[in-house]
Amino acid sequence: MKPKDPNSPIARIWDFFSSVRLTVVLLLTLASTSIIGTLIPQNASPADYFQTYGPFLFRLFSILDIFDMYHSWWFQFLLLLLTVNILVCSLNRLSGTWKIVFRKNPSFDIDRFRKIPNQTVFTDSRSMDALKAIYVPRVKRRFGYVRMEDTEKGFYVFAEKGRWSRLGVYTVHFSVILLLIGALIGSFFGFEGFVTIPEGEAQSQIHLRKTGDVLPLDFAIRCDSFHVSFYESGTPKEFRSDLSILVGENAVLKRSIRVNDPLHYKGISIFQSNYGKLPPNIITLNLVSEETKMEYRKELSAGQKIDLPEGAGTFVFKDFRNRYPFRGQDLGETVIGTLIAPNGNSEEIVLPLKFPGFDRMRKRALVFSVEEINPRYYTGLQVSKDPGVWVVYSGFMIMILGCYITFFMSHRRLCIEVTPKGNSNRVLVTGTANKNKLSMETVVSKITQDLAA
């Protein structure tokens, strides 16, 4: 793959990218710059940054894209350099490896094996033919490929296994490239958005997280109901949205989603993200007459006007608030209504749920309190599409496989040379491995014991 003329500019660029020194520099640069984004919160509001860092640092960090550094031009550029580096390094070395791995008869140089420091020697008094008959099958037990050849006076056995494991490292590099391709596909053809839908309502457009733009969908998502449950300790146990996918007026799919259990429809995934409480639609009022001691219950919906008993006028359910400050104290969830007396005077009525006796303070004939509210939730959904995710996932699997091959398998070669020596035979056992040489030493000594036995 390397260009022919070593002085051409392309050859120089090629050389630059084929160096592992560059890999080391890039990996360390990526590692150290990545720290910045974990110390400075990412994608917060500019006002917060300005307040925290002051005008100078704010300007500097803005120019360097520190507030969204993992998507900044320079960080992406480092990733690009690493990708090219991986590609060039792999291509550079692959042709050599390819020649070793894909050949019918492995080459074998006995002189090289004689020089290997990892060797054992012993003598065996059995006949040459007997040794051949014993050695070959014993070596076959441990090695996939075994070849026996006669020499002038004796013979040698050459064996090897795990030749293909030399490809492991290319597999890992390929998987990294797949991850980056998958991420690119995702960022070009996918989106990440969110939508909040009140119970009983449907939405057919979402907001994109990055830009805040509105994105219309081909279908609508209806939240039929939302449920939240808690453990006794008060920590949340489950968030569940019962959703329907609507195309036109038809519900084409009905399904409940939970955290860790999303819904997929036409390449778009819908995740449970958050939830919130909405003002109730319907409340039940309890009215007690101070004069007649009669109790009345009235159900009314938001904005509805009702006639009050005993000719006390009309009442409108105007508002619901989650907090209501009163004399420096928060009364919590509170219904606010307007009472219109028969003479036309109107008066605001405050009905905190936690304090049913609160309305007594007005000292009027009719005492109001809220007996029940129908809480209504909205569900917050993450809606995203990532056509690159399967490329990324295949990258994940290939990476695990490749790491395993690279780290724990090696190309092991063994050579046994038998030469006559006096009345006996001299047996030389040597072996090499491209990785994990220490364990090859163990293999050589084990084989030696095996043969001598």
- The least distance separating other proteins from the CB of residue 165, rounded to whole angstroms, comes to 13
Spatial strand order of the sheet with 424-433 comes to 119-124, 424-433, 412-421, 155-161, 145-150
Return the number of the residue (20 or 47) whose C-beta is nearest other proteins: 20
Nearer to other proteins, 69 or 146 (CB): 69
Of 19 and 204, which CB lies nearer to other proteins in the complex structure? 19
CB of 38 to other proteins, least distance (A): 4
Identity of the residue, 14 or 407, whose beta carbon is nearer to other proteins in the bound complex = 407
* Shortest distance in whole angstroms from residue 106 CB to other proteins: 22
Q: Where are the alpha helices (H) located in 125-229, listed in sequence order?
A: 128-140, 168-189
- DSSP H or E run through 326: strand 325-326
Nearer to other proteins, 238 or 290 (CB): 238
Burial 365-378 (b: 16+ CB within 10 A, else e): ebbbbbeebeebbb
d(Cα 37, Cα 30) in Å, to the nearest integer? 11
Shortest Å, Cβ 305 to other proteins? 41
To other proteins, the closest distance from the beta carbon of 136 in angstroms equals: 30
The CB-of-231 to other proteins minimum distance in angstroms stands at 5
Neighbouring residues of 104: CB distance < 8 A, sequence distance ≥ 6: none
Q: How far is the CB of 77 from other proteins (least distance, A)?
A: 16
Would you say 116 or 128 has its CB closer to other proteins? 116
Please, what is the minimum distance in Å from the beta carbon of residue 322 to other proteins? 23
Q: How far apart are the first and last CA of the chain?
A: 50
Nearer to other proteins, 229 or 345 (CB): 229
Q: How far is the CB of 400 from other proteins (least distance, A)?
A: 6
Question: Exposed, middle or buried by CB within 10 Å (0-12, 13-18, 19+), for 213?
Answer: exposed
CA–CA gap between residue 180 and residue 189 (Å, rounded): 14
Q: How far is the CB of 438 from other proteins (least distance, A)?
A: 5
- For 118, other C-beta atoms within 10 Å of its C-beta total 17
From the centroid of its chain, how far is CA 46? 27
Determine the Cα–Cα distance for residues 206 and 203; give it in Å rounded to an integer: 8
Residue written as token pair 């997280």: 209
Locate the DSSP E strands across 162-247: 191-198, 202-208, 214-230, 236-247
Residue 91 to residue 109: CA distance in whole angstroms: 27
Residue 429: Cβ-neighbour burial (10 angstroms; 0-12, 13-18, 19+): buried
User: Minimum distance from CB of 251 to other proteins (Å)?
Assistant: 23
All residues at 6 or more sequence positions from 427 whose CB lies less than 8 Å from its CB, including other chains: 121, 122, 123, 124, 131, 416, 417, 418, 451, 452
Structure tokens given for 222: 């209806």
Choose between 206 and 349: whose C-beta lies nearer to other proteins: 206
Alpha-carbon dihedral sign for residues 14, 18, 23, 25: negative
Pick 235 or 345: Cβ nearer other proteins: 235
List interacting residues with other proteins (CB under 8 A): 20-21, 23-24, 27-28, 30-31, 34-35, 37-39, 41-42, 70, 183, 192, 231, 233, 235-239, 258-262, 269, 271-273, 382-384, 386, 389, 392-393, 396, 399-400, 403-404, 407-408, 436, 438
Give the nearer residue to other proteins in terms of CB position, either 92 or 286.
92
Give the start-end residues of each E strand in 77-172.
Answer: 119-124, 145-150, 155-161
Residues 302 and 317: beta-carbon distance below 8 Å: yes
**For 20-47, b where at least 16 C-beta lie within 10 A, e where not — what string?**
eebbeebeeeeeebeeebeebeeeeeee
Q: Which is nearer to other proteins, 272 or 379 (CB)?
A: 272
The least distance separating other proteins from the CB of residue 213, rounded to whole angstroms, comes to 18
Return the number of the residue (53 or 108) whose C-beta is nearest other proteins. 53
